Amino acid sequence: MMNNILIIGAHYDDSELGVGGTAAKLAAQGKNVYKLTLTDNVTYSAHLHIDVAYETSVSESARACEVLGVKEITEFQPVECCQLFYNTEIMQRVEDTIYKYNIDTVFMHYTDDLNQDHISASKICLTAARHCPNILMYQSNQYILAKPYYPSLFFDISDYIDKKREALYQYTGDHNRYNALFETTIEKNHIWGYSNHCSYAEGFVVHKFRL
């Protein structure tokens, strides 16, 4: 049962990177697909040559959602990037959002990620979504994590890979890390497609899933 789906990301592009094709597919099937972002995405690192601003992230996210047919939740006040930590206040705000939109399926960050915002988002979401029938985890970065990311549930997104790519390229500048993250992500979708006898697939780690 997947009717009201919520994709939760720590940063604006996490949802498109991890779940973009699946989001477009479910939206095309008439499901309600929502997106929630927990931080303001402001990132500056001279060392890593990364510079991402809030206002552009917001407008680019809106365009990406339009491409995918996703409804973005904008009333949620994001916290400062890199300052996302589990606490009761933010967990309950996410929980309230889940109840408000009658969410049955949550896509959330993988619990053994290594980005600190992703780790916090995962912890917050796992508690906030504990009463949802379906909880699926995604990976939005492509580095080696604390524990291997080994997906076991796959969505065939062959017909939606163009929409995923179009949504990703709404994000400009350093969202596309080293000018390679978007295409690397799509290549991984290609590999998972091969594993599943289709062209492109997104893969998820199942926390729980009710048929």
CA distance 189 to 65: 20
Report the nearest approach of Zn ion to the CB of residue 182 (Å): 13
CA distance 202 to 158: 10
Q: Of 14 and 104, which has the nearer Cβ to Zn ion?
A: 14
By CB under 5 A, the count of residues binding Zn ion is 3
CA distance 142 to 5: 24
CB 136 within 8 A of CB 111: no
Q: Of 14 and 156, which has the nearer Cβ to Zn ion?
A: 14
The interface with Zn ion within residues 14-43 (CB under 5 A) comprises 14
Q: Does 11 bind Zn ion (CB under 5 A)?
A: yes
Binding segment for Zn ion (CB under 5 A), chosen from 8-16, 43-51, 152-160, 164-172, is 8-16
The distance from CA 173 to its chain's CA centroid, rounded to whole angstroms, is 19
CA dist list (Å): 37 to 16, 48, 60, 146, 197: 11, 23, 13, 23, 33
Q: Does 109 bind Zn ion (CB under 5 A)?
A: no
Report the nearest approach of Zn ion to the CB of residue 39 (Å): 8
Report the nearest approach of Zn ion to the CB of residue 117 (Å): 6
Binding segment for Zn ion (CB under 5 A), chosen from 11-19, 50-58, 93-101, 167-175, is 11-19
Q: Of 14 and 40, which has the nearer Cβ to Zn ion?
A: 14
Q: Of 11 and 35, which has the nearer Cβ to Zn ion?
A: 11
Report the nearest approach of Zn ion to the CB of residue 210 (Å): 28
Q: Of 97 and 141, which has the nearer Cβ to Zn ion?
A: 141
CA distance 136 to 117: 18
Read off the tokens for 23.
């989001």
Q: Closest by alpha carbon to 5, among 101, 92, 83, 69?
A: 101
Q: Which residues bind Zn ion (CB under 5 A)?
A: 10-11, 14
